[in-house]
Amino acid sequence: MKTGVKCADLTIAYKSIYQDVLQAVDYVHGKDGPLKQETLKKVATYVVKDERLPILLDRMRFHGTKVFLATNSDYNYTNNVMSYLLNDAEEGRNWTTYFDYIVVDAKKPLFFTEGTILRQVDLKTGALKIGTHTGPMQSGHVYSGGSCNVFTDLIGAMHRDVLYVGDHIFGDILKSKKTSGWKTFLIVPEITQELKVWTNKRSLFDKLDEYDAKIAEEYKYLDSSSHVCPDITAYQSKIKSVTHEMDMEYGVLGSLFRSGSRQTFFGAQVMRYADLYAASILNLLYYPFSYVFRAPPMLMAHESTVSHEKQVVGSDLMASRSRSFSENLSGISTDAAIPKRKTLQRADSLVPHLYADTPKEITQILEFDEEEEKSRDIKEEDEENYADQ
C-beta of residue 169 within 8 angstroms of C-beta of residue 269: yes
Per-residue confidence (pLDDT) for residue 386, from 0 to 100: 46
Check whether 375 has a pLDDT greater than 80. Answer: no
- C-alpha–C-alpha distance, residues 334 and 336, integer Å: 6
Q: Quick one: how far is CA 158 from the chain centroid?
A: 19
CA–CA gap between residue 57 and residue 98 (Å, rounded): 6
| pTM score | 0.76
Amino acid at 214: K
- Mean pLDDT over 334-355 rounds to 54
Q: Which residue has the higher pLDDT, 300 or 388?
A: 300
Spatial distance between the Cα atoms of 171 and 112, rounded to a whole number of angstroms: 9
39 C-beta neighbours (distance < 10 Å), count: 15
Mean pLDDT of the 291-319 span: 74
Q: How far does CA 1 lie from the centroid of its chain?
A: 37
Helices 202-218 & 233-249, crossing angle to 10 degrees? 160
Average pLDDT, stretch 211-232? Answer: 90
DSSP letter at 117 equals -
Mean pLDDT, residues 300-310: 78
Question: Distance of alpha carbon 119 from its chain centroid, rounded?
Answer: 31
pLDDT tens, position by position, 88-105: 867 888 999 999 999 999
Of residues 261 and 11, more confidence is placed in 11
* pLDDT, position 380: 52
Residue 365: pLDDT over 60: no
Helix (H) / strand (E) containing 186: strand 183-187
pLDDT at 345 over 70: no
| The pLDDT of residue 357 is above 80 | no
Q: Distance between CA atoms of 170 and 108, rounded to whole angstroms?
A: 10
pLDDT band for 304, please (50, 70, 90 cuts): confident
Give the lowest-confidence range in 21-35, 36-50, 331-345.
331-345
Q: For residues 291-298, give the mean pLDDT.
A: 86
CATH superfamily membership of 43-157: HAD superfamily/HAD-like (3.40.50.1000)
pLDDT at 6 over 90: no
pLDDT digits (tens, 9 = 90+) for 144-185: 999 999 998 888 887 888 999 999 999 999 999 988 889 999
Asked whether 186 and 231 are in contact (CB, 8 A), the reply is no
- 118-123 average pLDDT score: 94
**What is the average pLDDT value for the chain, to the nearest integer?**
83
| 131, pLDDT greater than 60 | yes
Specify whether the CB–CB gap between 76 and 36 falls below 8 A.
no
Across the range 120-124, mean pLDDT stands at 93
Does residue 369 carry a pLDDT above 70? Answer: no
User: 371 CB contacts (<8 Å, ≥6 apart)?
Assistant: none
Q: What is the pLDDT of residue 382?
A: 53
Q: What is the mean pLDDT of residues 193-201?
A: 90
Closest alpha carbon to 80 in 61, 104, 114? 104
Give mean pLDDT, residues 106-125.
92
Lowest-confidence pick of 60-64, 122-126, 361-365, 382-386: 382-386
The pLDDT value given to residue 85: 95
Res 350 pLDDT > 60: no
- Per-residue pLDDT tens for 228-284? 899 999 999 999 999 888 888 888 888 999 887 788 999 999 999 999 999 999 999
Tell me the per-residue pLDDT of 51-84, one tens digit each, with 9 for 90 and over: 999 999 999 999 999 999 999 999 999 999 999 9
Question: What's the pLDDT band for 385 if we cut at 50, 70, 90?
Answer: low
| pLDDT of res. 112 | 92
**Range from 248-252, 274-278, 328-332, 360-364 that averages highest in pLDDT:** 274-278
Contacts for 232 with CB less than 8 Å, ≥ 6 apart = 215, 218
DSSP code for 173: I
